[in-house]
Amino acid sequence: MIDGIPILVAELRHYVAQNLAAIQARDDLAADLESLIGDCCGPGSLFDAQRQHLSTYGFDHYGDHDPLEPPDASPRPGAVARLLHQGLERMGPLPAAPLLDLGCSVGRTSFELAARASGPVLGIDLNFGMLRLARTILEQGRCRYPKRRIGMVFERREFPLRFAGGERLDFWVCDATNLPFADGLFGALFSLNLLDCVPDPYRHLQEIARLLPTGGQALLATPFDWSAAATAPEAWIGGHSQRGENRGAAEPLLRALLTPGAHPHALAGLELPSPPWETPWGLRLHDRSAMHYQVYTLLLRKDTGA
């Protein structure tokens, strides 16, 4: 337990060694001092990378609650919350059983789930710095993150922020491909824009199937933005082997893996009760740059015959 965040991973020594900078990072520095440290560390440093991540995801998750953010901000913040709500409309009423938000980042989707659910909600991620931001909102009722303007120029954004249901919410460090939970424990699972960020996407899908009870649902969304830095190409679901039957397309391969009998490695226990759909998702990088995705979104269900 560090700064109120439980760390439940198989290789604790490796995790702490690889994430020491984020674990030891301070969030109580004055904005001018933080700026000076950023200038000294320079572009491409761990300090710079951490600030950029917090800027991008802090803005998307909470910029729509920032009273100083202009209404015509582009991309419009809150995209991940809108993605979640589109899925919730298709899922129907949330179960009273615990909910698991996989790859929760800085926590907006976990807060949204806790505000709508009647049972406990757990948000997990491997990025300690992002979880610290989420926990600060949960415990202190304030959002504070560095918003990148250009280059190494950042602006401190800080505003009060509270969501309903926080007393039933927690944030833990866990690996979405190796989760420390019993089979069928969660009433519903959410994996938004995570599948292409884990080293073993197939194992991630297996964990979703394992943790769902019979008839339980999961919301899965991915832009298939594969990167060899996160996932070895041989583990990608599509995105390579354009000479094959699907010509490298990811969508038909993922559907086949989630449809009983449609693929030799189709996951036992999962099915697609409705057709997938596309959802826009925009991520702000700085004042003059953004990434725009069309996110492939699916509703999964634990097969009642599994």
Which range, of 27-31, 59-63, 173-177, averages the lowest pLDDT? 27-31
Banded model confidence at residue 28, pLDDT cuts 50, 70, 90: confident
Closest by CA to 81, choosing from 65, 99, 70, is 65
Query: What pLDDT score was predicted for residue 242?
Result: 83
Tens-digit pLDDT profile for residues 98-149: 999 999 999 999 999 999 999 999 999 999 999 999 999 999 999 999 999 9
Banded model confidence at residue 305, pLDDT cuts 50, 70, 90: low
CA–CA dist 267, 295 (Å, integer): 22
Residues forming beta bridges with residue 147, ordered by sequence position: 155
Residue 69, C-beta contacts closer than 8 angstroms, at least 6 positions apart: 63, 77
Tens-digit pLDDT profile for residues 135-163: 999 999 999 999 999 999 999 999 999 99
Helix (H, G, I), strand (E, B) or coil at 224: coil
Query: In terms of DSSP H, where are the helices of the chain?
Result: 12-18, 20-24, 31-41, 46-62, 79-91, 108-116, 128-140, 201-211, 250-257
* This prediction's pTM: 0.95
CA–CA dist 188, 194 (Å, integer): 16
The DSSP call for residue 32 is H
Query: What pLDDT score was predicted for residue 247?
Result: 86
Q: Which CATH number fits domain 76-141+163-302: 3.40.50.150, 3.40.190.10, 3.90.1150.10, 3.30.460.10?
A: 3.40.50.150
The DSSP call for residue 196 is G
Banded model confidence at residue 244, pLDDT cuts 50, 70, 90: confident
> Looking at the chain, how many residues does it have?
306
